[in-house]
Structure 1
Amino acid sequence: MATTRKSRRNPMNAMWGWITRQPPKVKAFLAVISGILALVILRFLVHNHDNLFIAAEGIHAVGIAVLIYKLMKEKTCAGLSLKSQELTAMFLAVRVYCSFVMEYDIHTVLDTATLATTLWVIYMIRFKLKATHVEDLDNFPIHYVVLPCVVLALAIHPSTHHNIVNRILWAFCVYLEAVAVLPQLRVMQNTKIIEPFTAHYVFALGIARFLSCAHWVLQVLDSRGYLLTALGHGLWPSMVLLSEIVQTFILADFCYYYVKSVVGGQLVLRLPSGVV
């Protein structure tokens, strides 16, 4: 009786409880519907959809700030993947270079700031807090993602008027960004128990990825497909959208368990087997 009264007083908890009891296929369907609904809401609430990309970069920066706070306060990098940070620095460095030589704008400034803070995090993990970094858990072979991204960039890249090398580098950073979080997910998969600051950081990445994906999807819809032709011909425009969608879905499962943990009032996130 007490449980029933509590559910009535907390309809959100009751609804979330119903969602968690559904089979995986139903949860996936609900996730897709929720994503579409979020896109519709963003389309009407945000008039300049380029602001969504700026917001994505800003939230990524907030996630990095959470990491800096963790490293400075707790003096430990346990639960963090050095390899993910290095991959992040790699695609940011390439993107900053491409932005400087191809289209210098506000994104260049934001990416430069995020790159600088990411390099600081790498320095802290590799040198200052090396003793707390468990290398055995951070065991994702990064060549598994770097080499396929190089091959894809060589095969499928923009057909704009820019220098061929710059176009290949542009494609490389787009592909690498989509999978840079995989080593971090491997670390969390190995530990199963994720402390709050790391969970907040990865959740921030998930939100940033969704907003970036929403930016591209809504820009394509608003331009009635013109944006795709402006990016070039062939497979490249489709690969840009696919990369955005892939990096969103890579983090979708984790974000679900993060929200579930927050709704349940848990400070520490525990992942079941098979997640991420």
Structure 2
Amino acid sequence: MFNGFRLAGDFLHLSSFVFLLIQFRTAQSCSGISLKSQELYLLVFLTRYMDIFFNFISLYNTIMKLLFISATMYVIYMMRVELKDPTKEPHGTKISAALCGCSLLLALLYNDHNPYGPMWRKFVELAWTFSIYLEAVALVPQMEVLNRAKVVKNLTANYLFALGAYRVFYLLNYGYRFMVDPMFSSREVLIKALGAVVQSALYVRFFMMYLESKQKTGVNADVVMNLKGIV
């Protein structure tokens, strides 16, 4: 169901890619951005949108799905191939594997699939649930990178702010749909809300610390901060 919360969330999400690509182009570097987080986000979109070719909802919905997938792939391409200087993440692979494993386990334990539906449908719904849980924690490698760097660039902060705002509007979207859409099951809204709340909490905590540090360093300066309270 389309509404203003969904529209605002989608365009904030798209704007996050714009901030990221501007940073890459202006600095000719992807320093401070976690490649592992971007790869996790790609996995999120690929598993969430597995139904893109057989479950048509609207042209807008299909275009947005393709945009999120293609934009994330392009970001990864720039980091791996064009810029060739991804930030070193000594524990990135282990962290990503742990996040994927925990998300999969949680998806197996609590999901919204129909036990009487066809096997392929169960798989798609399980993948969708996995993507919700994984997106909630996909930011962890990025926070680890910022914690190691100690410096948050202005464009990086704008990128994270857009992502955080997108999740807040999606959380409002879930609440609105639950109230007006009879097809929106309580289990589905609980899964979505749980993921959105966990992810939003990470962003809120980050920006509280960011704004405190920003007051000390000045409006236009990159921010030096300690993120040990987050990751």
Which band: TM-score by shorter chain?
0.7 to 0.9
Q: Verify the 8 A CA contact 1:98 1:166 in the aligned structure 2.
A: yes
| Alignment correspondent of 1:251 | 203
1:142 aligns to 2:96 (yes or no): yes
Tell me how far 1:144 sits from its aligned partner.
1.2
Larger Rg: 1
Aligned-partner SS, 1:265 = coil
Runs of 4+ in 1 over 6 A off after TM superposition: none
**1:140/1:57 CA distance change after superposition, 3 Å:** farther
| Alignment correspondent of 1:50 | 3
Where do 1:30-49 residues align within 5 Å?
Answer: none
Q: What amino acid maps onto 1:253 in structure 2?
A: R
| Alignment correspondent of 1:10 | none
Q: What amino acid maps onto 2:84 in structure 1?
A: K
Tell me how far 1:270 sits from its aligned partner.
2.2
**1:236/1:155 CA distance change after superposition, 3 Å:** farther
Encode CA deviations 1:39-77: one digit per residue, 9 max, x unaligned: xxxxxxxxx972212221211111111111111221101
Residue 124 (structure 2) aligned to one of 166, 190, 193:
166
Q: Verify the 8 A CA contact 2:206 2:227 in the aligned structure 1.
A: no
Which whole-Å CA distance do the structure 1 matches of 2:23 and 2:138 have between them? Answer: 21
TM-score with structure 2 setting the length: 0.85
1:176 aligns to 2:134 (yes or no): yes
Q: How many percent identity over aligned positions?
A: 24
Higher relative contact order (CA 8 A, sep 6+): 2
Which whole-Å CA distance do the structure 1 matches of 2:176 and 2:211 have between them? Answer: 25
Q: Verify the 8 A CA contact 2:143 2:227 in the aligned structure 1.
A: no
Tell me how far 1:140 sits from its aligned partner.
5.9
1:76 aligns to 2:29 (yes or no): yes
**1:125/1:96 CA distance change after superposition, 3 Å:** same
Which whole-Å CA distance do the structure 2 matches of 1:217 and 1:232 have between them? Answer: 12
Q: What amino acid maps onto 2:130 in structure 1?
A: F
Q: What amino acid maps onto 1:77 in structure 2?
A: C
Encode CA deviations 1:93-118: one digit per residue, 9 max, x unaligned: 22222344334322331121121111
**1:139/1:260 CA distance change after superposition, 3 Å:** farther
TM-score with structure 1 setting the length: 0.72
Q: What amino acid maps onto 1:198 in structure 2?
A: T
**1:64/1:76 CA distance change after superposition, 3 Å:** same
Aligned-partner SS, 1:114 = helix
**1:177/1:108 CA distance change after superposition, 3 Å:** farther
Can you give the 5+ residue segments of structure 1 that lack an aligned partner in the other structure? 1-47
Can you give the 5+ residue segments of structure 2 that lack an aligned partner in the other structure? none
**1:218/1:193 CA distance change after superposition, 3 Å:** same
Aligned residues: 223
1:215 aligns to 2:166 (yes or no): no
1:61 aligns to 2:19 (yes or no): no
Name the stretch that deviates more: 245-254 or 90-99: 90-99
Alpha-carbon RMSD across the aligned residues, in angstroms, is 2.5
